[in-house]
Structure 1
Amino acid sequence: MAGNGSLIHVAQGTDGTIRVAAGSPVLTHGDVDAVGPDFARSVLDVAGAVLVWPVLGEPGPPVAEVHDVQRAQQWLWAVYGEPTAAAVHACAAGQGEVSPVPAQLGALADAAARLGFAHWAARWWPTSYTDGIAVLEPDVLGLEAAALTHWCQQLFDDFGDQPDDCVPELIEEHRAGLGPLIQWWLSAPQPADTGRHLENVLRLIDDAADTAGLDGPSLRELRSALERGLVRTPVDAGALFARRDGYALAAGDAPVSGGRVVARGSGTNDWRRYPPGFVDAAEDAVSWTARALGARRRIEVEVVAHVAAPVAGAPLVAEVRVNGGPPSHVPLARRDDVWTGRADLDLSVYLDLPTTTPPPVEVGVLLPGFDPGAGPPGRADRDAVRALARRRLAAAARPVTSDDAYHTVSAPLLAETIAATATSEDY
């Protein structure tokens, strides 16, 4: 398994939390930023702990922040190996930092990393029409996350404080994807390993639904299909999952040109400031134009929309700062494939500037109430995430030659396999 041969360091912090990490022990206890910004790490809430993996770089053992050792003992040995479980127990018993122990990663470690990545992809996958990164079909992604969660039940317990232990909710939310998944599997697609991957996911969903007492036409269809087996009917997977929502006009006035252009430029597209599915992930998705209309100054903002962006009811705004002044919020409305908005600027920000000098303008996009606040620039990290998505889509277009490969984090998810066949017209 990936990461075997690593040394695991176990130490207790001043708050009593025990940190489990591979590699150098010099990282500050509790410093999850050492694993990267939030959009560059995957996270799982598990029994008695939080597990964190870097999405960028080589796969390896997760960093664990253990806050309840007794609950965590049910999975520590299966993820890191018996020596690590014993070291955590010794640390909790008051021995402080214990000697590094060898990692002995099992199948649960790989499955947990894969589940963490599925949750990451649902939140951070950099879908972009302009960058050519296809959208991941949300129902397919959600159903595979449900299957992986069921497979990883050893990570969870019945305390109810683990939001990632949500198999029934995931199945219910993404039932619409079951029919197309069943049709895809029944078609016996080539290469055959994709069919095995599909069957594994569907059987896990069936077992999870049965365990949770779920029922309904799509789940009964699933049980029937699994009982009768393949019928080998040719089908185009891309057509099964083709998006049909398209774009629609949103309420709000269309931008009105006119006036003298004072300045124009690109804004900052900080993925952390809005929920998934709102804005195209391209770095230049946010653009603005400042105009002079007599004594007035107006800012016009355009933001490329995500293909799944809501048409109405989403109070997305542009945050505008002029000449380092206080932020102004410009409401945005979705019109076709862009969010647009405009507002007059406060004339006072120009008083100390020569009239021929355009003021510095900073523009970002956010959702009030969701926005954690502007973070560090992050451009290099966002570029690295885009590169990762492109590599994974390229790999998903190639057949996987081993059943075991589907249990590793580097192997494609079903949603990635579908996205790899997409064209620009599909998203």
Structure 2
Amino acid sequence: MTVVHLRHAEPGLLVIAPDGAPLVTDAVPGLDALVLEVAGGHLSWNLLDNELVPGAVLDDVEAAQDWVWAVYGEEVALAVADNHARALTAVPARPESAAALRRLAYAHWASRWWPASTVDGIPALDPRLLHEEIEVLTEQCEMMVDERSREPVADVAETAEGDAESIGRSRGRAEDYALAAGGADSSDGLIVARGSGGWDWRRCPPGILDAGEQAVSWQVARAAGVSTVRVSVVAAPDCPRVVADHLRPYARVRSAGTEFTTPLHLSGDAWTGAVRIPGQSEISPEITVFVPGVGPADPVDESAVRDRIRRFARRRLTEPTGEPRLSAETDAAETDEDF
């Protein structure tokens, strides 16, 4: 049994939610929020807990009545019909339906946020297996999901130029990747600084960049009064060999109060680029990697939640979690030893 609170949000919206549940009305939904569009509203769960009962935001109470009963039970369904705000006890009338909805939301989440990383040893999920399972789960939940949840989730491979034969997965191993750019290359002069770090997952579609927190590396070299900042980002394990122009990433370099932007180009298993800065640049420039038009303009530091999601993904592939794996996760776990 779970206590939920029935309340009115902005005009026309009714909220049903356990304490702390993510909601689509949140200013910035978390990276760890599972969201599913259903008839008459949206459901949401937290990825990192095992709570079966979701938060819900209803914009059409009549359309939502069937699944409200299944997911929250009779007491909550009657309260929704009466439209009275109060605390209630949720007991799903059809726990199997509630579980299928959460699993469908998780499958959609995995198609967007699964942290595939050669650096961290987390293999990519096969998008075709994911899409097939989403279709099966959608059919199981057909009386509850919104028609828009039936649309296939696009992956980078589908937007790449060329046919399927032009798409291949990187087979590199985590230990093959140095975490600082440049190495022995000193053609730009004396290397005065180097470093590595992560990138904001909201700023790039899936399947392009490695999701590791050390996937971005940079070095600063100086020669003849010019500083050259070279940036390298490990490509995602399932990055296609050819990526459409509108999906190609850029690097923004902020140094000494000045901002420079350069496109990154895929070479082997890394996206690389460089900017030249006249004069003596800062020893530690600020590096931002992004795809134009993707994500928020003013991102916040989400490195802690990214780390929790990576640990979650590793557990899903290596340990019993109490929840059955998706077929794509089973496939990834079987090939994980060779990753």
Please indicate the TM-score interval, normalised by the length of the shorter structure. 0.7 to 0.9
Q: Which of 179, 200, 203 in structure 2 is aligned with 1:273?
A: 203
Is the partner of 2:233 in helix, strand or coil?
Answer: strand
Q: Distance in 1 between matches of 2:254 and 2:198?
A: 12
Residue deviations 1:293-342 (CA, integer Å, cap 9, x gap): 2121211000000122233434310122124x354221100000000001
User: Does 2:286 correspond to 1:362?
Assistant: yes
2:32 is the counterpart of 1:102? no
Matched, 1:56 2:51: no
* Pairing of 1:122-161 with structure 2 (within 5 A): 122-156=111-145
In the TM superposition, what is the alpha-carbon distance from 1:262 to its structure 2 partner?
2.7
Contact 1:267 1:364 in 2 (8 A): no
**Distance change >3 Å, CA 346–CA 72, structure 1 → 2:** farther
Residue of structure 2 equivalent to 1:223: none
Q: 1:245 aligns with which of 168, 179, 201?
A: 168
Does 1:21 pair with 2:17? yes
AA aligned opposite 1:136: L
Q: Which amino acid in structure 1 is aligned with residue 26 of structure 2?
A: D
Change (3 A) 1:425 1:395: closer
CA distances 1:106-149 after superposition (whole Å, capped 9, x unpaired): 21110000000000100011111121111111101110011001
Classify the secondary structure of the residue corresponding to 1:277: coil
Q: Do structure 1's residue 309 and structure 2's residue 301 form an aligned pair? A: no
Correspondence for 2:251 among 314, 318, 322: 318
- CA-CA distance at 1:388 after TM superposition: 0.5
Q: Does 1:7 align with 2:3?
A: yes
Distance 1:413 1:32 in 2: 30
| CA 1:345–1:136: 2 relative to 1, 3 Å | same
Deviation string, structure 1 residues 78-108 (Cα, Å, up to 9, x no partner): 11112112112222xxx4x224233335211
- 1:116 has 2:105 as partner: yes
Provide the rounded CA distance (Å) in 1 between the counterparts of 2:20 and 2:202: 29
Over residues 231-279 of structure 1, what are the superposed CA-to-partner deviations in whole Å (9 max), with x where a residue is unaligned? xxxxxxxxxxxx982459xxxxx98733122321124311111000011
Match of residue 31 from structure 1: 26
Task: Specify the SS of the correspondent of 1:155.
Answer: coil
Paired AA for residue 86 in structure 2: V
Superposition TM-score, scaled by structure 2 size: 0.83
| Inter-CA distance 360–138: structure 2 relative to 1 (3 Å threshold) | same
SS of aligned partner of 1:386: helix
Maintained 8 Å contact 2:209/2:235:
yes
Alpha-carbon contact 2:188-2:228 (below 8 Å) kept? no
Contact 2:218 2:229 (C-alpha < 8 Å) held by counterparts? yes
Whether the aligned pair in 2 keeps the contact of 1:259 and 1:291 (CA below 8 Å) is yes
Counterpart pick for 1:391 among 299, 312, 315: 315
Q: Higher helix share goes to which structure? A: 1
Equivalent of 2:275, from 343, 356, 370?
343
Alignment partner of 1:393: what SS? helix
Structure-to-structure mapping, 1:165-244, within 5 angstroms: 165-166=150-151, 169=152
Q: One-letter code of the match for 1:370? A: V
| RMSD (Å), alpha carbons | 3.0
5 Å-filtered alignment, 1:67-86, equals: 67-86=59-78
CA distance in 1, matches of 2:197, 2:289: 8
Q: Give the SS at the match of 1:377.
A: coil
Q: Any conservation in 1 of the 2:6–2:16 contact (CA below 8 Å)?
A: yes
Q: Which amino acid aligns with 1:98?
A: R
Helix, strand or coil for the counterpart of 1:11?
Answer: strand
Q: Are the equivalent residues in 2 in contact too, given 1:136–1:416 (CA < 8 A)?
A: yes
Query: Residue 59 of structure 1: CA displacement?
Result: 2.5
d(CA) in 1 for partners of 2:202, 2:19: 28
CA separation of 1:344/1:387 partners in 2, compared to 1, >3 Å: closer, same or farther?
Answer: same
Change (3 A) 1:306 1:105: farther
Q: 1:371 aligns with which of 286, 291, 295?
A: 295
Structure 1: gaps (5+ residues): 175-242, 249-253, 351-357, 399-404
Give me the whole-angstrom Cα distance separating, in 2, the residues matched to 1:298 and 1:56: 42
- AA aligned to 2:118 is Y
CA distance in 1, matches of 2:273, 2:167: 27
Q: Distance in 1 between matches of 2:24 and 2:266?
A: 44
How far 1:43 moved relative to its partner? 0.7
Residue 28 of structure 1 deviates from its aligned partner by 9.6
Match in the other structure for 1:65:
57
Q: Which residue of 1 aligns with 2:332?
A: 419
CA distance in 2 between partners of 1:387 and 1:24 (Å): 21
Instruction: Tell me the secondary structure at the aligned position of residue 31 of structure 2.
Output: helix
Query: Larger deviation: 359-368 or 141-150?
Result: 359-368
Distance (Å, rounded) in 1 between the aligned partners of 2:293 and 2:272: 20
Structure 2 letter corresponding to 1:108: S
Change (3 A) 1:381 1:24: closer
Other-structure match for 1:227: none
Number of corresponding residues: 315
Structure 1: how far apart are the matches of 2:57 and 2:69? Answer: 15
